[in-house]
Structure 1
Amino acid sequence: MLCRVCKSHQQKQRNGEQCWSKDPVYTLRRDVIHMKSEQHKKALRKEMQRLASERDGGVEQGFQLQVSLQHDAIKKAMETLYWLAKEEVAHTTKFSSFLDFAKDHLGCEVLAHLHQGGNASYRIKRILQEMLQIQLDHEAELTASQFVGLMCDETTDISTTKELVLLTRLVDSNGQAKSTFAKVIPLQDGTADTIAAALKTWLQEKNISIKKVMGFGSDGAAVMTGRKNGVAVLLQKENPLMTAIHCICHRLALPVGQAGERVPYIKNHFKPNLGELFRFFAYSACRMARLHQIQELLDLAQNTLKEAEDTRWLSHDEACKSLYRNLPAVLMTLDNENKNSATSTGLLIWLHKYSTQATLYLLCDLLPHLSSLSSHDPEWQGKVREPFVDQLLHNLEERFQSTELLSSFSILDPKQMPEPMPDHYGMEEVQCLTDHFGAGEGVVAPDAACDEWLGLQEYLNQNHYLSQEQLVTLLLSDGTMRELYPSLRTLAAVHDHSHT
């Protein structure tokens, strides 16, 4: 369900989410809660201003409405142009007539606001070519860049179509690294073979060799980073030099969820009951109101409980901290509901247990700081604390395996050079990089890179004020630097494409 008023004004919630205005809500009982929310009230005020504008001709309200309609009209026009070009329809001759047909016969009245003046009709051939030129410029940059990095994430749209969102990272003619949206690729399924095949098909369409891809970034899901048959492994079979890393936020969040899955008490008792406690209050406006009343009596901030989901990083931390802060109010509210609800009775008994509160305190201390909590209960410590911490450390070690290779690029940061510089400073890092990027059909010559590094050391001594970004840009764009240090320039290009 969407709220018509909130949707028309794109009204956001206090936390920035766009439920009811953009993201559908599937629970009928939330309809009553939404009608009383601040989000809906703000949207109603804007709607009243719009109606007053139409009735009284208010200047400010009328101007805001006109700008909004013009924005929607331009967006619809660009979507139409994209469809015509995609379907290989003669867009330069059919674009204007198609817009008129959509406006007059398909109910797209908003296109009437596309015409903003004699010199701003958005229908002339020049603006059409400029819109399409954006995509052509991106393809030209992909072709000109020495290496390319790929960043992708799997998603499902509102029609349950599985899609792959693809972005590219490249170095432009000025030596600047930039990330650019490339395409949304429909998928038949979410298997690693399908995703890898879709990426290779896109590379073939753009005439880009997979040997040119030096970086692959993903969210760290098993289908992307699996050791045997992940997407990264399948791509590395054709290009062993490619570096695969994934989002650091996911890397820190996934081990937490997976560590909890390996501890029976957390998996079978703590997480299910924590979710049930969230739903007990979130799905009832009356219970939430009584919780807020008790919070006010106890002089506590009127915070709501949060839901813990493995697919959203930081949600476990927020869920545990919200319960920790509101535990007295939650206990009193559940005790008050005890007479009328079996669910509240079960949750109250669960919250009074030592193992529940000890686990809650452990997670509140461990999740924000990755530290441990001391416990005086040996049985709980052996069954919960130690297995959870051990599994968490094991998962972190597995997910940060590329640290040594990536940290070797620190030699390209003059500000990290010691003073005075040792004679063999940076040789181990250069050796690590050349062992990886110079092996087999490598892109650098190991001996040449070591010789160039000895020459670059003197330059770094004289220009120690440079940042890593400035040095990399010089290696990529300055003609003299390219001639003197070709192998190090190649490593600098790989650096920009690998740090996704």
Structure 2
Amino acid sequence: MLHEFTLYAVQNDATPTCPTVVDSTTTTDTANEDNSTSTSASTSASTDTAANERKSSVQERFGPWNDEECKSLLKNLFDESKSFHSCFICKDAYCTGLSKETLSKFPGYKKFNHKWLNRSNWWLCFVETEGMYCLVCKKHHIKHPHNQREVFAATPSIRFKLDAITTHNKSSLHAAALQTEMIQKVSYFHQEVTKKSEVETSVLEGVFSTAYYLMKSFIANRQLLPLLNFIEKIFHVEDLKYFNHRSAECQSEIFMTLGETMKKSLLSDVKKSPAFGILTDEVCDISVTENLMTFIQYYNSTSESVCTQFLSCQNILSEFSSANADAITKLILSELKDDDLDVSKFAGFSSDGAAVMVGKRAGVATLLKAENPSLINVHCVCHRLALSCTDSNESINYIKTIETLLRQLWQLFENSPKKMAVYLKTQKQLKEISMGEKATKIVSKRLKKACRTRWLSLEASVRAVHGDYEAILHTLSILDQSGDAAATGLMKKMKSIKFLGTLYIMRDILPVLADLSKHFQKDSLNFSDIRPSINLAKDKLKKLLEEETPMQSLQTDIDSFSDMCAEIKLNNKELKELQSLFEKYVNALINNITRRFEDSSDVLAALGIFDPLSVPLQNQPGFKEYGIAQINILADHFHQLDEPETKTRKTEKMQSEWQSFKYHINDVLKPVIPEDVRDGSSKSTNTTEWLLLQLLRNPTFENFYPSLIPIAAAAVAIPITNAWPERGASSLKNIKTKLRNRLGEAMLENILHVCINGPAPESKEGQTIIKAAVDSWLKAKNRRKVAKVNKISGACGVVVKETLNDNVISQDASVQTEENPVIVEAQEVLSEVRQAMKVMAIENENDSDFEDESDFDDDCCW
């Protein structure tokens, strides 16, 4: 039927004037229906029923389209904000004429008869305030071959006569438009283009999800195309063949866009927060680049929780000669400026406590306070605890000796499979155990990792050596007999009651410090956790000292040792020496911890009044005076730049709100505190943080306590621990490895944003980020699209613009007459590099045998 329709249009230079074009089955059904009228009544009834069923199964067509396709075309071709009329729309809307407003403004439109919009003229559409259009001609942008007029197509016809409609219906222009549409209907190329248009968004989202997964999994960016090809061929995802953006530049833009979208989402949440805090630290990567790793802490109004997210990774030495306080300060301030973050909301700054960070005269914290005097500087509690332990170990010489011996013992086995094998055999013989190959590997790995010196490594090292003390001595004895000097020296020092007793002492003390360090590294830690945790740890140490737990364990276990340790005996003199060492070590730890943590800020101490359990009841003494002094400290700090009169007025207002809030705490909030929060068993929050979050979550509090809300926002935004930049440094080193050592600064930062901040790619939040990235990537620039229309020769020489698809990707057909600027620039750079190498007498050779297998080198080639 399609071929018959096209042939008719070409030979007669006109289209059929009948309202409906039907296929042969429809014609047959109609003939059967006519013949059935001459039969008997019973035969007629059955035949009519069958004919009606067959007719209902055939969808009525209008030219090349059916009813639904015509309605869809109307929506695509015309602006929905305008009023337009068609037989397909007016029938359902019971529309019988133009609007009165249009007829009053344009009296000439009364000549248009709404009845002309019938099934015979299915192609006709009337747009109010414009005129008459033809659906087919408008879709294909029909132009007259001589005068280039586009009447009924781009230009509406305002000749409101039936003769104008009939003439256009029989014209060669209309016939050419119908012929073009018919050609597209049977064209494989057009079907492929249409299919590609339908799946383009879903294909891009799948590709972006794959790239997102690579970024989250520390996999090289260059693995994107191989992974896509694998998915297409193995899992038969045929739609991936429509992904044509496979150049290195496009792939680089995909990764960059994902990271930028992740950062935009982060900054959008930060800007809604009343305050934020900055955590920063320096880290050196595999390429010997000194980076400033920065995180940001804020209250997220969407999730109603405190969040700590990665913000930036900056190369310090790219613009400055050294990583001094001035350079770090300028980098932090420039990042805040680039991110459009208000410095007045900068509430807290946390660092590792190095002199360049916390120096009183010219440290980073001091320079930042010059920009925002209300900034609160915090020395990371994890680093302070580590310094306390280091000070204690330094003050007792034999504890230092123990650390050195443990490190040397680990080094003895680290790079010697032969010595490790001797140790494993000895351990099996002593403990009479049988291990398979996998178990042997696990034990070997555990021993290798046990002695590494980091925050928690000393405790793990002591625990490992204490548990395998006899096996270690047997191993050292075997190595001693073979002439190993290192093993001989270690055995002499380790085979003594003083060494063994110190191991028992450290075995009981170090877990207390390790638990405290782990608690300080929690994500939800805030200022109210510090003092209770410190006091608990000190009480545990005092209890160990009073009960002499290590000495009792040593006396119990010493008689159970084998022949190798039989000569190790504990007499009264040695017991007193160990007790003295134990007492000195515990007292040194308590004193150093107290000294390191006693200089906490008065402002942080004043924020402790927000603990609801500390607020007295109304009938208890001290209720009215509770918190007044602390409120004065907070007012002096946060309003120090105000004029005296303004400052006094704000202080009085804050005191008034605090007095009212105390009643609200006792009457409303205290009874609804969760039980796990009240008794301290909750691992996610405590009573102080719970109360501060209640202030921020309840929007009605903004009307009653407007002065306390900013204080609460600043309190939850002040970072207490600098553990996040340490985690960020680990992620950086997992990303920028030896084979990816040339990752550019921008690409590295974007990968870190997805790796650290990004949710799982299959989650709802992850898919939201991916869809936003796809939209941003498509809007960034024209992605090598061909023109929206293509000129083809229609019937009778009429020029027709064939609309292929807005998203068709093709190569340029024209001849390249100018040099490619990208190639020219690359050649110039290569020439400069060669000239520099010649002057500097540098040989042109790779750094290693693996250089050719390294990841892409720069931001474009990643």
TM-score range, shorter chain: 0.5 to 0.7
Q: Does 1:299 align with 2:407?
A: no
Cα gap change, 1:325 to 1:207, in 2 (>3 Å): same
Query: What is the CA-CA distance between 1:499 and the residue it aligns to?
Result: 4.4
Q: Does 1:409 align with 2:607?
A: yes
- Per the alignment, in what secondary structure is the counterpart of residue 158 of structure 1? coil
CA contact (8 A) 1:176 1:473 kept: yes
CA contact (8 A) 1:308 1:316 kept: yes
Query: What is the CA-CA distance between 1:297 and the residue it aligns to?
Result: 3.1
Q: 2:588 aligns with which of 390, 400, 410?
A: 390
Single out whichever of 377-386 and 172-181 deviates more from structure 2.
Answer: 377-386
Query: What is the CA-CA distance between 1:307 and the residue it aligns to?
Result: 5.2
Query: What is the CA-CA distance between 1:382 and the residue it aligns to?
Result: 7.3
1:65-94 alpha-carbon deviations (Å, 9 max, x no partner) = xxxx97995149989xxxxxxxxxxxxxxx
Paired position in structure 2 for 1:476: 696
Q: 2:625 aligns with which of 412, 424, 427?
A: 424
Q: 2:406 aligns with which of 270, 274, 280?
A: 274
- Per the alignment, in what secondary structure is the counterpart of residue 292 of structure 2? strand
- Per the alignment, in what secondary structure is the counterpart of residue 447 of structure 2? coil
Paired position in structure 1 for 2:306: 177
Cα gap change, 1:149 to 1:328, in 2 (>3 Å): same
- Per the alignment, in what secondary structure is the counterpart of residue 313 of structure 1? coil
Query: What is the CA-CA distance between 1:392 and the residue it aligns to?
Result: 6.1
Q: Which amino acid aligns with 1:143?
A: K
Paired position in structure 1 for 2:389: 256
* Residues in 1 aligned to 2:257 and 2:408: alpha-carbon distance in whole angstroms: 55
Single out whichever of 486-495 and 411-420 deviates more from structure 2.
Answer: 411-420
Q: 1:334 aligns with which of 457, 473, 476?
A: 476
Where does 1:317-396 land on structure 2 (aligned, <5 Å)? 317-340=459-482, 341-369=484-512, 371=541, 386=584, 389-390=587-588, 393-396=591-594
CA contact (8 A) 1:259 1:395 kept: no
CA contact (8 A) 2:349 2:719 kept: no
Cα gap change, 1:388 to 1:224, in 2 (>3 Å): farther
CA contact (8 A) 2:297 2:309 kept: yes
Q: Which amino acid aligns with 1:178?
A: C
Paired position in structure 2 for 1:153: 281
Paired position in structure 1 for 2:790: none
Query: What is the CA-CA distance between 1:170 and the residue it aligns to?
Result: 2.1
* Residues in 1 aligned to 2:656 and 2:282: alpha-carbon distance in whole angstroms: 43
Paired position in structure 1 for 2:327: 194
Single out whichever of 370-379 and 178-187 deviates more from structure 2.
Answer: 370-379
Paired position in structure 2 for 1:45: none
CA contact (8 A) 1:263 1:384 kept: no
Q: 2:662 aligns with which of 429, 433, 457?
A: 457
CA contact (8 A) 2:279 2:719 kept: no
* Residues in 2 aligned to 1:434 and 1:365: alpha-carbon distance in whole angstroms: 45
Q: Which amino acid aligns with 1:146?
A: P
Q: Which amino acid aligns with 1:74?
A: A
Cα gap change, 1:70 to 1:494, in 2 (>3 Å): same
Paired position in structure 2 for 1:89: none
CA contact (8 A) 2:450 2:464 kept: no
Paired position in structure 2 for 1:26: none
1:36-57 alpha-carbon deviations (Å, 9 max, x no partner) = xxxxxxxxxxxxxxxxxxxxxx
Which 5+ residue runs of structure 1 have no aligned equivalent? 1-68, 80-98
* Residues in 1 aligned to 2:451 and 2:214: alpha-carbon distance in whole angstroms: 41
- Per the alignment, in what secondary structure is the counterpart of residue 207 of structure 1? coil
Q: 1:208 aligns with which of 341, 361, 381?
A: 341
* Residues in 1 aligned to 2:431 and 2:617: alpha-carbon distance in whole angstroms: 56
Query: What is the CA-CA distance between 1:395 and the residue it aligns to?
Result: 5.0
* Residues in 2 aligned to 1:343 and 1:398: alpha-carbon distance in whole angstroms: 38
CA contact (8 A) 1:72 1:110 kept: no
CA contact (8 A) 1:218 1:247 kept: yes
Query: What is the CA-CA distance between 1:454 and the residue it aligns to?
Result: 0.5
- Per the alignment, in what secondary structure is the counterpart of residue 153 of structure 1? strand
Cα gap change, 1:144 to 1:114, in 2 (>3 Å): farther
Q: 1:74 aligns with which of 196, 200, 211?
A: 211
Query: What is the CA-CA distance between 1:356 and the residue it aligns to?
Result: 2.9
* Residues in 2 aligned to 1:110 and 1:307: alpha-carbon distance in whole angstroms: 37
Q: Which amino acid aligns with 1:136?
A: K
CA contact (8 A) 1:196 1:231 kept: yes
CA contact (8 A) 1:474 1:481 kept: no
Q: Which amino acid aligns with 1:433?
A: L
* Residues in 1 aligned to 2:700 and 2:213: alpha-carbon distance in whole angstroms: 48
* Residues in 1 aligned to 2:476 and 2:405: alpha-carbon distance in whole angstroms: 14
Q: Which amino acid aligns with 1:348?
A: M
Query: What is the CA-CA distance between 1:448 and the residue it aligns to?
Result: 2.0
Paired position in structure 2 for 1:41: none
Query: What is the CA-CA distance between 1:325 and the residue it aligns to?
Result: 1.5
1:350-399 alpha-carbon deviations (Å, 9 max, x no partner) = 11244433433332232223636668667777789637843662255224
- Per the alignment, in what secondary structure is the counterpart of residue 377 of structure 2? strand
CA contact (8 A) 1:150 1:167 kept: yes
* Residues in 1 aligned to 2:358 and 2:451: alpha-carbon distance in whole angstroms: 24
1:238-287 alpha-carbon deviations (Å, 9 max, x no partner) = 333222224443332332134323444444x3322221111112222222
Q: Does 1:314 align with 2:515?
A: no
1:105-149 alpha-carbon deviations (Å, 9 max, x no partner) = xx9544546875649959699999787444333333333332221
Q: Which amino acid aligns with 2:339?
A: K
Q: Does 1:232 align with 2:232?
A: no
Q: Which amino acid aligns with 2:635?
A: T
Cα gap change, 1:344 to 1:112, in 2 (>3 Å): same
Give the % identical residues: 26
CA contact (8 A) 2:277 2:349 kept: yes
Paired position in structure 2 for 1:54: none
- Per the alignment, in what secondary structure is the counterpart of residue 423 of structure 1? coil
Cα gap change, 1:313 to 1:346, in 2 (>3 Å): same
Paired position in structure 1 for 2:637: 436
Cα gap change, 1:414 to 1:213, in 2 (>3 Å): same
Q: 1:143 aligns with which of 271, 290, 293?
A: 271
CA contact (8 A) 1:253 1:314 kept: no
* Residues in 2 aligned to 1:325 and 1:300: alpha-carbon distance in whole angstroms: 15
- Per the alignment, in what secondary structure is the counterpart of residue 182 of structure 1? strand
* Residues in 1 aligned to 2:255 and 2:492: alpha-carbon distance in whole angstroms: 67
* Residues in 2 aligned to 1:306 and 1:77: alpha-carbon distance in whole angstroms: 28
CA contact (8 A) 1:74 1:114 kept: no
Greater Rg, structure 1 or structure 2?
2
Query: What is the CA-CA distance between 1:228 and the residue it aligns to?
Result: 5.2
- Per the alignment, in what secondary structure is the counterpart of residue 310 of structure 2? strand
Cα gap change, 1:388 to 1:471, in 2 (>3 Å): closer
Cα gap change, 1:347 to 1:226, in 2 (>3 Å): farther
Cα gap change, 1:483 to 1:308, in 2 (>3 Å): same
CA contact (8 A) 2:336 2:343 kept: yes
Aligned residue pairs, count: 406
* Residues in 2 aligned to 1:476 and 1:439: alpha-carbon distance in whole angstroms: 24
CA contact (8 A) 2:452 2:461 kept: no
CA contact (8 A) 2:283 2:290 kept: yes
What is the aligned-residue RMSD (CA, Å)?
A: 4.1
1:393-434 alpha-carbon deviations (Å, 9 max, x no partner) = 225522453276435434334355445653333334434433
